[in-house]
């Protein structure tokens, strides 16, 4: 069978989709449901009932029975494009959505770049067990050295899309279906032997591996071609001009006896420090990035300082057993030299977000500091796509929240049913 999708009678596409589960607040969840109670958020981020996961499975079964959701009659691939604006510039990113065979990371075929949290993986596993589906696509990158894949994707999406809608953030989503068996085979063959670099969706991919093992234990993984051997991915060319990665800034809170002057004094050992107006911090950081410099900004109530790394060799000394790409990540420079050594925020603390939270909005970070709910904030440059590829290629993982690809892939336009409701009974 083909992909699981909403039928035309379910409602307007823009009323049925939502962003990935991990960036949606409870207020936003309620807003999606108020707009259309059939929004995919009821399945992707269930909250109703004593056992929300079980409720999601029941809702899915009801929607299938009522014809709100249905699988395409034949297998196919889906070309997916997002059109958006960044600071007045019109951009687009286009990829191919389909099932990808699950491989252990040790096989070196699918490469992660970030650490994951067990709590999030347990949540996704329980949902997958209750529904037999993965509703949101993993976002992965690939190299197209031969120049065969992306040009063909462009040709196959030259006509009008089968679906086009704009979400609440102004991002336009366009979808084409590739149903010709010969075209599907040719595209699949073009990916043979390619490495896939996970951009977004590490928790979902690891959950897919766990669910595959679970199905095998239950005797439900019947054959090599069983859907449980696969996970849904959207594959985007690594050198696509529309790829955008936002920085993820760090907000430090609840540190007893925090002393700004003491912190800056400690930073002098590694950084050149200069005053910088907050409103200029991001542009100044971007300028240093273009010059190949490593820098970050520290914001404390009413004061912003630019910190430029004096000598990159200090990272080689502290992270001698890692690749040069890993050592030179801005997030590692911040975490190793400042958060761990000066503020005492170790890796376990970061993972539990005890003294550290994250935002991609510099104004939000500053507001937390000025409002007294945070001690300070660190503003960062975005991680480069080339850095992601180099770190993943070296078999290493960045700290959590090192990247934020924008825009996020929408959830609900194409879904992957792995196990039928009858098999789950």
CATH number at residue 308: 3.30.1760
* Residues 259 and 220 grouped into a single domain: no
* Residues 363 and 259 grouped into a single domain: yes
The DSSP bridge pattern shows strands 138-142 and 230-237 to be: parallel
pLDDT given at position 165:
97
Given a cut of 60, whether residue 425 has pLDDT beyond it is no
pLDDT, averaged across the chain? 93
Query: 118-131 and 52-66 are packed helices; what angle lies between their axes, rounded to 10 degrees?
Result: 40
Per the CB < 8 A criterion, the answer to whether 186 and 152 are in contact is: yes
Is the backbone of residue 234 left (phi > 0), alpha (psi -120 to 50) or beta? Answer: beta
> Residues for the chain: how many in total?
425
* Residues 270 and 239 grouped into a single domain: no
Other Cβ atoms within 10 Å of 339 Cβ, number: 22
**Dist CA 319 CA 39 (whole Å):** 46
pLDDT, tens digit (0-9, with 9 covering 90-100), for 5-35: 999 999 999 999 999 888 898 999 999 999 9
Specify the 3-state DSSP secondary structure of 16: helix
* Residues 53 and 112 grouped into a single domain: yes
* Residues 176 and 313 grouped into a single domain: no
> Please, which residues have CB within 8 angstroms of residue 33's CB and are 6 or more apart in sequence?
39, 41, 42
47-to-29, 41, 130, 208, 274 alpha-carbon distances in Å = 9, 9, 14, 22, 48
pLDDT given at position 264:
95
**Dist CA 231 CA 134 (whole Å):** 8
Least Cα distance to 247 among 345, 329, 346, 318 occurs for 329
Calculated CA dihedral for residues 66, 69, 74, 80, nearest 10 degrees: 160
User: If pLDDT is split at 50, 70 and 90, which confidence band does 223 have?
Assistant: confident
User: Does 386 fall in a domain?
Assistant: no
* Residues 57 and 181 grouped into a single domain: yes
Calculated CA dihedral for residues 416, 12, 42, 64, nearest 10 degrees: -50
Domain count, the chain: 2
**Dist CA 259 CA 376 (whole Å):** 10
pLDDT given at position 424:
60
pLDDT (mean) for 104-126: 89
> Please, which residues have CB within 8 angstroms of residue 314's CB and are 6 or more apart in sequence?
270, 337
- Dihedral pair phi/psi, residue 201, rounded to 5°: 115, 25
Given a cut of 70, whether residue 423 has pLDDT beyond it is no
Give the DSSP per-residue string, 87-107. Answer: TTEEEEEEEEEEEEE---GGG
Least Cα distance to 97 among 132, 137, 134, 147 occurs for 137
Residue 178 corresponds to which tokens in the numbers above? 């590739």
40-to-20, 97, 193 alpha-carbon distances in Å = 10, 18, 34
pLDDT, tens digit (0-9, with 9 covering 90-100), for 322-368: 999 999 999 999 999 999 999 998 888 877 788 999 999 999 999 99
* Residues 227 and 263 grouped into a single domain: no
User: Does 267 fall in a domain?
Assistant: yes
pLDDT given at position 54:
95
* Residues 180 and 301 grouped into a single domain: no
User: Does 321 fall in a domain?
Assistant: yes
* Residues 198 and 308 grouped into a single domain: no
pLDDT given at position 87:
84
Given a cut of 70, whether residue 421 has pLDDT beyond it is no
3-state secondary structure 143-193: CCCCCCHHHHHHHHCCCCCCEEEECCCCCEEEEEEECCHHHHHHHHHHCCC
User: Does 401 fall in a domain?
Assistant: no
Per the CB < 8 A criterion, the answer to whether 340 and 270 are in contact is: no
User: Does 412 fall in a domain?
Assistant: yes
Sign of CA pseudo-dihedral 14, 20, 25, 30: positive
User: Does 398 fall in a domain?
Assistant: no
User: If pLDDT is split at 50, 70 and 90, which confidence band does 142 have?
Assistant: very high
User: Does 402 fall in a domain?
Assistant: no
**Dist CA 204 CA 124 (whole Å):** 7
CATH code: domain of residue 192: 3.90.1530.10
25-to-22, 121, 163, 421 alpha-carbon distances in Å = 8, 18, 27, 29
User: Does 392 fall in a domain?
Assistant: no
CA angle 187, 164, 78 (to 5 degrees): 15
Other Cβ atoms within 10 Å of 126 Cβ, number: 17
Can you give the residue range of the structural domain that contains 62?
Answer: 4-243+407-424
* Residues 233 and 312 grouped into a single domain: no
Given a cut of 90, whether residue 401 has pLDDT beyond it is no
* Residues 164 and 236 grouped into a single domain: yes
pLDDT (mean) for 252-266: 94
209-213, 250-254, 278-282, 393-397: least confidently modelled range: 393-397
Eight-class DSSP state of 307 = E
* Residues 231 and 105 grouped into a single domain: yes
Site of tokens 């958006």: 84
pLDDT (mean) for 203-228: 93
């Amino acid at each position: 069978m083909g992909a699981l999708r909403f039928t035309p009678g379910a409602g307007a596409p823009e009323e049925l989709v939502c962003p990935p589960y991990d960036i949606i607040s409870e207020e936003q969840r309620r807003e999606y449901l108020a707009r259309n109670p059939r929004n995919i958020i009821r399945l992707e981020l269930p909250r109703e009932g004593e056992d929300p996961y079980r409720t999601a499975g029941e809702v899915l079964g009801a929607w299938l029975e009522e014809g709100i959701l249905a699988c395409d009659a034949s297998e196919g691939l889906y070309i997916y494009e997002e059109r958006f604006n960044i600071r007045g510039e019109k951009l687009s990113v286009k990829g191919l959505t389909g099932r990808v065979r699950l491989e252990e990371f040790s096989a070196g075929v699918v490469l992660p770049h970030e650490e994951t949290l067990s709590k999030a993986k347990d949540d996704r596993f329980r949902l997958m067990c209750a529904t037999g589906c993965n509703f949101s696509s993993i976002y992965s990158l690939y190299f197209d050295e031969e120049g065969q894949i992306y040009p063909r994707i462009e040709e196959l999406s030259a006509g009008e899309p089968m679906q086009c809608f704009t979400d609440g953030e102004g991002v336009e989503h366009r979808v084409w279906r590739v149903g010709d068996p010969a075209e599907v085979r040719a595209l699949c063959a073009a990916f043979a032997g390619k490495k896939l670099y996970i951009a977004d969706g590490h928790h979902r991919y690891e959950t897919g591996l766990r669910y595959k093992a679970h199905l095998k234990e239950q005797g439900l993984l019947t054959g090599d071609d069983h859907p449980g051997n696969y996970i849904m991915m959207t594959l985007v060319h690594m050198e696509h001009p529309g790829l955008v990665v936002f920085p993820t800034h760090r907000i430090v809170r609840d540190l007893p006896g925090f002393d700004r002057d003491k912190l800056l004094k400690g930073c002098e050992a590694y950084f050149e420090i200069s005053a910088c107006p907050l409103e200029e911090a991001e542009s100044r950081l971007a300028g240093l990035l273009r010059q190949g410099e490593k820098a970050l900004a520290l914001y404390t109530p009413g004061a912003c300082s630019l910190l430029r790394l004096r000598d990159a060799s200090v990272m080689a000394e502290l992270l001698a057993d890692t690749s040069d790409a890993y050592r030179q990540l801005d997030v590692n420079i911040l975490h190793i030299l400042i958060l761990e050594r000066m503020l005492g925020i170790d890796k376990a603390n970061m993972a539990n977000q005890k003294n550290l939270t994250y935002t991609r909005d510099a104004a939000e970070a500053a507001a937390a500091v000025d409002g007294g709910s945070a001690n300070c904030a660190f503003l960062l440059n975005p991680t480069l796509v080339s850095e992601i590829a180099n770190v993943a290629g070296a078999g290493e993982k960045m700290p959590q929240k090192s990247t934020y690809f924008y825009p996020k892939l929408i959830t609900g336009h194409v879904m992957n049913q792995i196990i039928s409701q009858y098999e789950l009974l």
